[in-house]
């Protein structure tokens, strides 16, 4: 198979036809931060955390196909600051309440905030009025933390392929709704996967909480991106 030559921040890399910039960068040990993307799912390009610059143009690395000879900027200070601003916006636009969240330490948004050393956001908190839906037998859906990445829409399905989650409304009113009848039919394993696939703490499995103590969770042990990055020589 022919190789595609490209560079990220001056580092020479090689990718395969059909790969996106983000996939090829990861194969070369270069971490491009991502949030809505999930391995194995068609990328939706909804969060824009993976924005890189190619030839002066901004593009989402998770959706942009690789092409021969491109020079990708990934860690330019203005790009990193733009990502930090996006993360801050996600925090101020919801009610995340990390200290009480079951996903704390396993939350990708929180892990990115640590990576970008976010302290006080530059934007005012919105404190939106959002609901919590605790009525299903297996799942609790907390809209306060939802970042509308659509992962659950694509991944959480019943045995016969029906989506349990789906977008409702538009613009500011947009939310991800759950079909509680379908959600009630999920197995324990499916409910656990629904929780694990949510990048934040918007979908929580009921009955067992804090099974792994805070301090021993995924991003307590290693920062986000450390599984991809190889040190520069
Ligand atoms: Fe690329 Fe969200 S990870 S747009």
Residue 63, phi-psi category: left (phi > 0), alpha (psi -120 to 50), beta (remainder): alpha
Using one digit for the tens of pLDDT, what is the confidence trace for 32-44?
999 999 999 999 9
Q: Is 90 in the pocket of ligand 1 (CB under 6 A)?
A: no
For residue 125 the two structure tokens come to: 């908190």
Average pLDDT, the chain: 94
pTM for the structure as a whole: 0.94
What backbone torsions phi and psi does residue 166 show, to the nearest 5 degrees?
-160, 150
Say if ligand 1 is within 6 A of residue 86 CB: no
Q: What is the pLDDT of residues 63-74, one digit of tens each?
A: 999 999 999 999
- Closest to 149 measured CA to CA, from 164, 167, 131: 167
Evaluate whether 164 touches 180 at the Cβ level (below 8 Å). no
Residue 227 exposure: Cα atoms within 13 Å on the Cβ side = 6
3-state secondary structure at position 138 = coil
Q: Residue 149 CA: which ligand 1 atom is closest?
A: 2
CATH number for region 4-74: 3.10.20.740
Sole residue written with tokens 């992962």: 151
Domain 84-209: which CATH number of 3.30.70.20, 3.40.50.300, 3.30.750.200, 3.90.1150.10: 3.30.70.20
What are the structural domain ranges in the chain?
Answer: 4-74, 84-209
Angstrom distances, CA of residue 123 to CA of 85, 88, 89, 111, 129: 9, 7, 7, 19, 18
Ligand 1 centre distance from Cα of residue 131 (Å): 26
60 lines ligand 1 (CB under 6 A): yes
Least confidently predicted of 11-20, 58-67, 129-138: 129-138
């Amino acid at each position: 198979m022919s190789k595609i030559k490209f560079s990220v921040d001056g580092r020479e890399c090689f990718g395969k036809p059909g790969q996106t910039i983000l996939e090829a960068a990861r194969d070369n040990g270069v971490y491009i931060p991502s949030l809505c993307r999930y391995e194995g799912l068609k990328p939706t390009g909804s969060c824009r955390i993976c924005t890189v610059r190619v030839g002066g143009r901004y593009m989402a690395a998770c959706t942009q196909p690789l092409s021969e000879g491109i020079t990708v900027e990934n860690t330019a200070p203005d790009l990193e600051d733009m990502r930090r601003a996006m993360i801050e916006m996600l925090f101020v636009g919801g009610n995340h309440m990390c200290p009480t969240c079951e996903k704390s330490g396993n939350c990708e948004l929180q892990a990115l905030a640590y990576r970008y050393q976010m302290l006080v956001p530059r934007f005012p908190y919105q404190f939106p009025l959002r609901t919590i839906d605790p009525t299903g037998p297996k799942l609790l859906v907390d809209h306060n933390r939802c970042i509308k990445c659509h992962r659950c829409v694509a991944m959480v399905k019943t045995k016969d392929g029906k989506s349990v989650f789906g977008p409702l409304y538009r613009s500011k009113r947009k939310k991800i709704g759950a079909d509680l009848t379908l959600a009630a039919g999920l197995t324990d394993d499916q409910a656990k996967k629904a929780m694990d696939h949510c990048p934040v703490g918007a979908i929580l499995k009921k009955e067992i909480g804090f099974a792994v103590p805070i301090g021993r969770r995924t991003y307590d042990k290693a920062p986000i991106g450390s599984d991809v990055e190889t040190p520069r020589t």
